[in-house]
A and B are shown apart, each in its own frame.
Chain A
């Protein structure tokens, strides 16, 4: 197996773990964790395709991933703020009880 394939397998594994976590957990923080895992799987793909792609000299992959991580940090902050907002409404953070999200 080429290194690219190993990387892709690893990232798809990571993605599946994240997806399974996001789908099966009721604690919204753990769901957020799952989402972050999926995001990092995507980041891993960026790195893999850059590193084993046609032009690994230019640091495009790394720069892209750094941007993506920065955006993810902002997203995590928003997500945690949402969790706090949910907690204030229903005194717990169980996602399946947060049913009043529609307008």
Chain B
């Protein structure tokens, strides 16, 4: 029986494994990897038990709260929360995580920092699971920062490569901008609502009483909950790689492939979506208010729609296998935000779960390709891998079909349909639906391009020609994820809305599979247009040599190069924010050097002047008698000056001796 007070065990197990990995010696590879995988497997079993408990009463939020510390009159409470959302996410994270850990055994085999890798991965798993079960925005925020730290450590895992170190820094700083918003929102929420607990038997900030207070109109006609919701959404923008803070996510691919699969595709980047789904009652509290100029969810929907289309556009023109997948992740996260914004958080979570499986599958497949081709990541220099890597090809193709939304059999189709139908029913605007449908064509197109370039045609470089299938340690997780990528779609189809009814806690009647058939037919048509165009351009006449120009680049070089340079976002930020920061720095240095420094110099000159005048007066008048005294003083000064050696260690030692003498004096004082 898994009642909420034992929920802490789920993150505690990987945390313990991280501790073991941290102290394990470098050759203790079996110990570090074994404890990490065993801990995550155990956490998976516990999560399944928790899911069973949660599903028994899907409409209820089982909580276990306790006081963390007292602050003045208030008590800062934290706690664990068990509901179908948290439990499903825990099961997904532990299942995908365990498979990726097993894959890493093979992928990281030759790395000499094997134990460090598993230590960081376990740390990440612990923080992520903590984030999922948190029943307080404060605890969630703590874990949120911890996953950010783990992400930083793992992006920069190969820190001896300057690009990896820079990418880690970029990820950390960019997400920090969003986190500032989240922090402000949290403080405001505490100020306005008086508690940060989500559910607390009627007193939590997501329960009716608090929401009624928070939805009251404030300055400018905006509701307080709108402002708080938008600030919290800033955190989600940063973490989930939404426009305009998406720039860190593609660079994060400098980390090892399993890291990209676990953190930057399946779990951590989805934390923003999870956060918004978790605080959904707060985000939607202003919906009922009439005459409010702006609803928080409207912003969410438009940001998501823009991100979905923009990510898909840029992915078309990338040449690095992992960068294509990274921009595809940005785009898919946009779809999830879009679903949240148009009011269907259930569809967002459905897509989150299916996306976690098929995107982890695609990244591990890319890792398998990269491993076999001796770290060749440029799709122009790969090619012809289908006959040589049959399992990787087959599973990658399954992932690609799921991502492209191949009808009926693949999970991505059902979750994407759910999102598009929700967008179609949005009363505010149909623009997000249009963006979403355009993204569907592009998604099918760039995935076809990726598969055609990597797996078909002749091998276009030495390593690609020698590539052969990896060991079972790496292919077995691929096969299992492929099963998930196909099968997971069936828990949320319109004919059997199990997931929807469990997440909302209401019975949702089964509908015909083909309800809203017009939109479904349209999106199926768009998928096939994308697939067909991709195959016509890249598949039919496969690239024969690495240096050949991309067919699209030949036709529309300006657009292709603009997209290939990621719409110049990095240059834009370097030209605006970066230049502003450098300008401020120059200003500060100038102030320091010329204004303040000038004043100090002026003072010094004045002092010198006084001194000179003084000396003149002295030498002319009463001198001789003082000479002897000053000679003595100078000697004493010299003696003291010897103590000032300029060696920091000497000072420290003197401090230590003084400290001991002081301690002895105090002890002697006390003894009397």
Contacts and interface: CB of A to CB of B under 8 A. Distances in A.
Nearest to B659: A19
Contact of A57 (B70, B644, B646, B648): B70
B625 interface: no
Interface stretch (B167-175, B212-220, B555-563, B649-657): B649-657
Nearest to B74: A59
Contacts of B644: 102
B69 A96 contact: no
A19 B656 CA distance: 8
Contacts of B652: 22-23, 31
A31 B648 contact: yes
Contact of A58 (B72, B649, B653): B72
Contact of B648 (A19, A59, A62, A95): A95
Contacts of A59: 69-72
Contacts of A96: 647, 649
A101 interface: yes
A23 B654 CA distance: 10
B645 interface: yes
A16 B652 CA distance: 13
B646 A101 contact: yes
Interface in B59-102: 69-72
Contacts of A95: 647-649
Nearest to B71: A59
Contact of B645 (A19, A57, A99): A99
B648 A23 contact: no
A96 B649 CA distance: 7
Interface size of B as a range: 10 to 19
Interface string A16-49: 0001001100001001000000000000000000
Interface residues of A, number: 16
A102 B69 contact: no
Nearest to A15: B659
Interface in A75-92: none
Given A23-B656, A59-B70, A100 B646 contact: yes
A35 B154 CA distance: 28
A98 interface: yes
Given A19-B656, A23-B652, A31-B652, A99 B72 contact: no
Given A19-B656, A23-B656, A99 B71 contact: no
A48 to B, nearest CB: 15
A28 B649 CA distance: 10
A76 B648 CA distance: 16
Contacts of B646: 98-102
A23 B649 contact: yes
A99 B644 CA distance: 10
Contacts of B648: 28, 31, 95, 98, 101
A19 B612 CA distance: 46
Contacts of B72: 58-59
A59 B652 CA distance: 33
B670 to A, nearest CB: 14
B280 to A, nearest CB: 32
Contacts of A22: 652
Contact of B647 (A19, A23, A57, A99): A99
A57 B73 CA distance: 9
Nearest to B648: A95
Contacts of B653: 23
B480 to A, nearest CB: 43
Given A23-B652, A23-B653, A102 B645 contact: yes
A98 B659 CA distance: 24
A62 B68 CA distance: 12
Contacts of B645: 99, 102
B560 to A, nearest CB: 42
Contacts of A98: 646-648
A31 B647 CA distance: 13
Interface of A: 19, 22-23, 28, 31, 57-59, 62, 95-96, 98-102
29 contacts: A19-B656, A23-B649, A23-B652, A23-B653, A23-B656, A31-B648, A57-B70, A58-B72, A59-B69, A59-B70, A59-B72, A62-B69, A62-B71, A95-B647, A95-B649, A96-B647, A96-B649, A98-B647, A98-B648, A99-B645, A99-B646, A99-B647, A100-B646, A101-B646, A101-B647, A101-B648, A102-B644, A102-B645, A102-B646
Given A19-B656, A95-B649, A102-B645, 19 more contacts: A22-B652, A23-B649, A23-B653, A23-B656, A28-B648, A31-B648, A31-B652, A57-B70, A58-B72, A59-B70, A95-B647, A95-B648, A96-B647, A96-B649, A99-B646, A99-B647, A101-B647, A102-B644, A102-B646
> Considering the complex of A and B, which 9 residue pairs feature the smallest CB-CB distances, nearest first?
A102-B646, A101-B646, A59-B71, A99-B646, A95-B648, A99-B647, A102-B644, A23-B652, A22-B652
